[in-house]
Amino acid sequence: MTSTARKPKGIVASGVELIVTLAVAIGLALLVQAYLVKPYRIPSGSMEPTLAIGQRILVNRLDTYPALGDIVVFHPPTGATDGGVCGDPHQGAGHPQACDKNLPTEASVTFVKRVVGLPGDRLQIRNGYVYRNGVRERGRYIQSCDAVPGADCNFPKTIVVPAGEYYMMGDNRGDSLDSRYWGPVPQKWIIGVAFATYWPISRIGFFSAA
């Protein structure tokens, strides 16, 4: 009789243990995604050939002070998806100077770009390549800007990246809405630095600064 009475309690205890275990696992997963590592899907071709449309990456949310060449997930200024919000009408597409300022409002959307300029850097853009403090980026990952008809490849006038902000550009220079059109990104808008890609399987690997 004693043995028979204990069986239901054992089943109930096992069920409670399973529920608690699942709850803890889900809680830890949400905690990791919220504060440590978060997956993102690449929505456009602006980072080709490095990242393809639909490719998935992992982002370190603890790393919000990127290095030159890092691939970064961030919030752009409000209006960036409409083509640009550069505060000066003499800057941006079709003008000699790339944007060196943005609007102070942070958008809710997320972008994925590469850091091409650090705070205080002096930048020029020629044929789609960034000249940082007079030195051209190595650019082994860059897709030609000239290959896209009508693309803005040249912004010869020097700009200076403001303190506490980062200049972002897509690797697909002829098909990327980036800091050229809406300005540098404040550090506080940076979500994190991409450190790995996990899908598709054929492209699994870790990133390093270019």
DSSP class of 187: G
Facing residues of 143 across strands? 172
User: Among residues 56, 53, 36, which one has the least CA distance to residue 45?
Assistant: 53
Measured between alpha carbons, how far is 161 from 170 in angstroms, rounded to an integer? 17
Q: Nearest 5°: phi and psi at 49? A: -90, 0
Which of the residues 7, 14, 108, 113 is marked catalytic?
113
Catalytic annotation present for 113: yes
Measured between alpha carbons, how far is 186 from 164 in angstroms, rounded to an integer? 6
Facing residues of 189 across strands? none
Measured between alpha carbons, how far is 176 from 113 in angstroms, rounded to an integer? 9
**Counting every residue, how long is the chain?**
210
Which of the residues 9, 46, 108, 179 is marked catalytic?
46
C-alpha distances in angstroms, 68 versus 104, 167, 178, 209?
Answer: 23, 9, 16, 7
Measured between alpha carbons, how far is 22 from 156 in angstroms, rounded to an integer? 57
Tokens 């399973």: give the residue.
Answer: 18
For the annotated catalytic residues, the residue numbers are: 46, 113
